[in-house]
Amino acid sequence: MDDLISGYKRFRELAWPERKQLFERLAARGQRPETLVIACSDSRVDPQMIFDAGPGEMFVVRNVANLVPPYQPDSNYHGTSAAIEFAVRVLKVKHVVVLGHAQCGGVHALLEGAPPGAEDFVGNWMKMAEPARLMAEDANLPPAERQRFCEQCCVKLSLSNLASFPWVAERVAGGSLTLHGAYFGVATGRLEMLRDDGTFDPA
């Protein structure tokens, strides 16, 4: 916690004076981001750093393995779906980016089983990505390549699940919302974008 407080003090001393007016404008007019980013909770994958974005530019939701669940409005708790609903229907973002990444612990748990101490929630959460695991198994790849392939399949699966939200599909069909898939290399710092043919190419 001491490191966090020290970081806050640096923010107040160095960054706040330069950005004070920006935050005052954001407080006065509210947020108007044009992009929703659905990213992994992994501490090495910071969407604001990757896209060099400032306050108010992106609406970000993070969870294990950047997964989007299928549309399922019921009385259960749906944190990711609630964030998507707010971004798409209230903030009216123009873009949704599903950002996957290399060395994803959630995908590793999907392929190899949840690690000790993560049995209560992680394993069940990752069952949502079972179609991605099956595709990775069918591809018959070496372990390292299978992990990467499955990580990218999870991006595609999340995009497919996004399309199951009727108000997402309606806006996509009307041309006011565009869905994007992306993949970040932790060791390389390189970003790849999902193309129409299903491949990921350098941005």
> Contact 195/111 with Cβ under 8 angstroms?
no
For residues 127 and 124, give the distance between their C-alpha atoms in angstroms, rounded to a whole number.
5
Same structural domain for residues 65 and 103? yes
Same structural domain for residues 166 and 83? yes
Using CA atoms, how far residue 103 sits from 86, 149, 151, 183, in Å, is: 30, 11, 8, 11
Same structural domain for residues 190 and 108? yes
Q: Is the pLDDT of residue 123 over 90?
A: yes
Same structural domain for residues 87 and 176? yes
Q: Is the pLDDT of residue 140 over 90?
A: no
- What is the pLDDT averaged over residues 155-182? 98
- What is the pLDDT averaged over residues 44-67? 97
Position 104 confidence tier, pLDDT thresholds 50, 70, 90: very high
For residues 3 and 10, give the distance between their C-alpha atoms in angstroms, rounded to a whole number.
11
pLDDT tens digits, 174-189 = 999 999 999 999 999 9
Same structural domain for residues 37 and 8? no
- What is the pLDDT averaged over residues 34-46? 98
- What is the pLDDT averaged over residues 131-154? 93
Q: What percent of the chain has pLDDT over 70?
A: 100
For residues 131 and 161, give the distance between their C-alpha atoms in angstroms, rounded to a whole number.
12
Same structural domain for residues 19 and 95? no
For tokens 């400032």, what's the residue?
54
Helix axes 105-112, 143-162, angle to 10 degrees: 110
pLDDT tens digits, 14-31 = 999 999 999 999 999 999
Q: Which residues make Cβ contacts (< 8 Å) with residue 108, sequence separation at least 6?
A: 147
Task: Give residue 13's domain range.
Answer: 1-29
Q: Is 191 helix (H, G, I), strand (E, B) or coil?
A: strand
Residue 190: CATH number of its domain:
3.40.1050.10
Same structural domain for residues 77 and 58? yes
Give the pLDDT score at 19: 93
Same structural domain for residues 66 and 4? no
C-alpha count within 13 angstroms, C-beta hemisphere, residue 36: 27
Same structural domain for residues 71 and 5? no
Question: How many domains, in total, are found in the chain?
Answer: 2
Position 144 confidence tier, pLDDT thresholds 50, 70, 90: confident
Position 124 confidence tier, pLDDT thresholds 50, 70, 90: very high
- What is the pLDDT averaged over residues 149-154? 98
Same structural domain for residues 54 and 118? yes
Q: Is 43 helix (H, G, I), strand (E, B) or coil?
A: coil
Q: Is the pLDDT of residue 143 over 90?
A: no
